[in-house]
Amino acid sequence: MKIITLILRVSLSVAVIISAPAALAITAGQIDDFENGSIMGWQEGGSSPNPPTNISTGGPQGANDNYLRDISAGGAGAGSKMVMFNLSQWTGDFNAAGVESIQMWLRNEGNSSMQIRIALNGGVTWFSSTNGFSLPADNMWRLATFNLTANDMTRVAGTSDLATVLDSVVEMRILSANSPDFRGATIDATLGVDDIEAIGVVVGPDPDADFGVISVILDLILDDDSE
């Protein structure tokens, strides 16, 4: 009876080990395609009069391709800057998840050209894209890639290095700014965004660690069987 109980425990333990996902908010390969009709956690803040909205057609794939639209009103006050942020699926340990760059489709739907960047917050320290992605006011979709290397990201606040920030990202922003920054430019503009994707190596469970646990459990079975 003891050995049957232990075998059942082994089966359950192995199932948990194999199926349990890593405790990471971000994963390589994840993509915000907005096809579910939501804004997928992207926001400007509660007081903005022009928050991001889901548009049901007109994305990079054309008719019936949903995308996200963000508007900045210019002037002063809430909603005046071109910046939106995410506090959920684009947070966590980018290094452990193997994320090396962020890719997305962008469209300038307004009358002013923009320099699009991403910014990452590690709690106190901010890093922003060193070079902005030039987005002319021509209503055309363009594919942008923002690499997450030391050459491609510039510290704009705080003292931590990039590796430390990537270990524990608490906020990601998409913004327009003429130089590296985590605050958007004050501009009257409309930005379309779609298929925001985490590019990198898909990191799976450590097979050595898994088999190490399984080995210990099997040793218990053998010890019990010898009694």
pLDDT digits (tens, 9 = 90+) for 43-98: 998 899 999 999 999 999 999 999 999 999 999 999 999 999 999 999 999 999 99
Tally of domains within the chain: 2
Q: Could you tell me what percent of the chain has a pLDDT over 90?
A: 76
Residues 10 and 96 in one domain: no
Residues 64 and 91 in one domain: yes
Residues 11 and 33 in one domain: no
Give the torsion sign (CA, 135, 139, 143, 147): positive
Residues 44 and 66 in one domain: yes
* Residue 195: partners with Cβ closer than 8 Å, 6 or more residues away: 31, 32, 33, 59, 60, 103, 104, 105
Rounded to whole angstroms, the Cα distance separating 172 from 40 reads: 13
pTM: 0.81
Residues 135 and 42 in one domain: yes
- Provide the domain limits for residue 178: 24-204
Cα atoms in the Cβ-side hemisphere of radius 13 Å centred on 34: 26
CATH number at residue 172: 2.60.120.260
Residues 222 and 124 in one domain: no
What value does the mean pLDDT of the chain take?
86
Do 140 and 107 form a contact (C-beta atoms < 8 A)?
yes
Residues 219 and 200 in one domain: no
Residues 88 and 114 in one domain: yes
Residues 1 and 57 in one domain: no
Radius of gyration of the chain (CA): 23
Q: Is the pLDDT of residue 12 over 90?
A: no
Q: Is the pLDDT of residue 163 over 50?
A: yes
Among 1-15, 37-51, 60-74, 118-132, which stretch is predicted with the lowest mean pLDDT? Answer: 1-15
| pLDDT score at 223 | 54
| pLDDT score at 213 | 41
Residues 171 and 124 in one domain: yes
